[in-house]
Amino acid sequence: MWEVQATAWLEGDRIDSSKMIQEESIAMPTYDSVLTLLWIDKDIDQYVTGEDEYDPRSANPTAIGLDIDIATASEVVNALHSLESAQTG
């Protein structure tokens, strides 16, 4: 897992460019793809003051102008199967 600047992956007027997030990329050669997982474990909103810890009970990415597609594990597996089917035929 690597620590990268939040702005490397996320866009929005409220993203603090000095904040870091965690990134893990997994090569998937069978699908000719890479699966990247991102963890936002600290506050990245530049207009919020106070405790700098992520609170999952108040998670609302769209509230700070992020457009994030959150997929369940089964959705990821289904997408990979669809990709494989498209590549084979």
CB 15 within 8 A of CB 31: no
The candidate with the shortest Cα–Cα distance to 43, out of 68, 16, 65, 66, is 16
Does 5 or 72 have the greater pLDDT score?
Answer: 5
Q: What is the pLDDT of residues 32-43, one digit of tens each?
A: 888 999 888 777
- CA 68 to chain CA centroid, nearest Å: 7
Q: What is the pLDDT of residues 8-24, one digit of tens each?
A: 988 888 888 888 899 99
Q: pTM, whole model, 2 decimals?
A: 0.51
